[in-house]
Amino acid sequence: MSSDDASPRTLRDLLSALRRGLIDADKARSSARGRLERGGPLEAGGLADLLGLNDAGQGEDELQQQLQSECQFLEGVPFQPGSCIGGKYEVRKILRGGFGLVYLCRSLAPELYHRGDSLAALKCPLPQHLTDPELCELFVAEAVNSVALTPHPNLVLAYGVEMHNRIPFLVMEHITGGRTLVEEIENGRTDWRTTLRHGLDMARGLAHAAQEAQLIHGDLKPPNVLITGDGVAKVSDFGLSLSADAAGADGLIAGTDGFMAPEMVARRTGRSTVADVYAYGVTLLCAVLGRFPEAARPGDLCTAAHMPEPLAALLRECLAIDPAARPANFQIIAARLEGMSGFLLGARPSQPAAPDAPLRADALVNAAQTWLNLGQPRKAQAEVEHALRLNSANWKAHQIQNCIHLERRDFDAAYRSAKQARQLALDEPGPAANLAQAAMSLGRRDDALTWLDLALELAYESGRMGELDGSSLLFVELLPAEQALQVLDAIVTAQPGAAITWNNRAILLRRMKQPAEALASADHAIALNAAYAKAWTNRANALIELHRFAEAQTSASTALDLDPCLPGAYCAKATSLAQQGRLPEARAAIRSGLSLLPADPLLLRAAQVFAE
């Protein structure tokens, strides 16, 4: 839907659309403003009717308030148009989906994920979902399943997962000039001919996902189909997908009302390929009819719809109430659509051009970084070894090897890998910073300082100070306080969204006996990522030094809710409780920490301090 669309919209339409990511806040606000300017009630119908989402249980005032709240939410997201993510991506536009934010960006990095333009789409969990393990798991599932797929012209290509501000971002291809199938339907650009072509594209993409990674999509619907400027359909959003191997035990009822198969609604089965086939049939019927098929048996509407009988027959089979009567998989559907395209459209459809994917070795490096970011170093190791067999001079592969070795605490191997990366990329600050980290882990402080000075020099010369965000704690540990503060300030000046540096800056300012400034810096990190547990711990420590003990207790408790394995948070909580005269509760906090981390030296010392 475009912001200048003159067709009327109810507030219920707008709210449903905004929550499901079908429109962004600007469009919703513009439509709501138009409603107020026109005055009076709007006609029923529109987007929510298309998807069968209308809910008559809410009044206009409540809907208006909720719509305003949703719009304000997007205004408060950490990255706004014009700002940068990780020093690598300039945000151009923000979209909100049901489970995530999508930033449409221009890449600023000298090396891109792909060989074409500099555009990319970065998806991350909604801020409030970062503290919900179940919803974070949905995001991780989408990331894993998307990255597992090799490039296909009818699937949105995922390049990999990057971590920025300790938040995972799924980096995907940017569909220039793309529209969702919802927009195509709403604007009257779909009929049986376009439906046949889009349906074939979707079936090809879903067949590839099944053959390549045995994936079941789980949430097929018009918003999850993108149409390129050339009219090619691409399936996106594998957030509810799962492997066919897991489907037998899958009892999760997940998906969108109206698109879920009858057996799922009746809770007889979970997600399955034939359930995807049913959702696919509803999606295509929406495109033919131009609206949501309001009927107990949507397949009954195929006969009266304006489309050739071969296509109607296929949709009736896809929409069969009995799962066994549906086509068994998307390979079968694709073959049938290819066959009927020749005589219905007058020409057999051609396969679209492959997406602009990275070279194979680079793609494997992206996958290795993804697995490492998702906490799976064994898979990362397998991918990076494959990449190095294809191209031993890929410096990023050696850099990832360094990170894997650091995680395994094999510091000698980490140093060797960082040295190889450094030799292959003399102008890059990253390998030099990694050498500093490995040397520090080996207890070679002077070597660490030498490499850190080189990383700083390279970052200054290339104007890439923001790339040192992940290494900012090294500056705190190795440089004199005033000099370290200058470096950290230079990093956040170059990259205001550098949450790790803001957090480490709070540590440094506390050491410099500036608790109020430390508190402000920790608050800045939390504003960028409300689920940043260590920043909540540093906030608690700054509040303790400011004698604001009740607030410190709350911040420490928040840190432990986010990550129960932070010894510093237990100590901060115990200290704030003791300062409020609640010594038994302080001792209980330390005992709670020791039950999870029995050998932690900080907690063992705290137990002595708070001993009875």
Q: From 62, 28, 34, select the one nearest 48 (Cα to Cα).
A: 28
Tell me the torsion sign for CA atoms 449, 452, 456, 462.
positive
* List 5, 219, 276, 469, catalytic entry: 219
Contacts 24+ apart (CB under 8 A), 487-490: 487/456, 490/460, 490/465
Positive or negative: CA dihedral 265, 267, 273, 274: negative
Using the structure block, give the residue that is written with the tokens 């149409």.
Answer: 227
C-alpha closest to that of 499 among 465, 474, 464, 534 = 534
3-state helix, strand, coil in the chain (%, to 5): 60, 10, 35
- Residue 352 region by backbone torsions, left for phi larger than 0, else alpha for psi between -120 and 50, else beta: beta
- What is the distance between the alpha carbons of residues 100 and 91, in angstroms, rounded to a whole number? 16
CA separation, residue 19 to residues 64, 141, 204, 565, 594 (Å): 14, 21, 29, 34, 42
Give the span between the Cα atoms of 504 and 522, in whole angstroms. Answer: 8
Structure tokens at 243: 């492997």
Q: What residue type is 490 in one-letter code?
A: A
- CA 229 – CA 404 distance, rounded (Å): 41
395 Cα distance to chain centroid: 26
Report the alpha-carbon distance of residue 83 to residue 89 in Å, rounded.
8
561 is a catalytic site residue = no
**Alpha helices (H) in 443-582, listed in sequence order:** 445-462, 472-478, 481-494, 499-511, 515-528, 533-545, 549-562, 567-579
Place of tokens 């504003």: 527
The string of DSSP codes covering 405-418 is HHHTT-HHHHHHHH
Residue 133's CB: how many other CB atoms inside 10 A?
Answer: 8
Maximum Cα interatomic distance, the chain, rounded to a whole number of Å: 88
Phi-psi region of 122 (alpha: psi -120 to 50; beta: other; left: phi over 0): beta
Please name the amino acid found at residue 231. G
The residues assigned a catalytic role are: 219
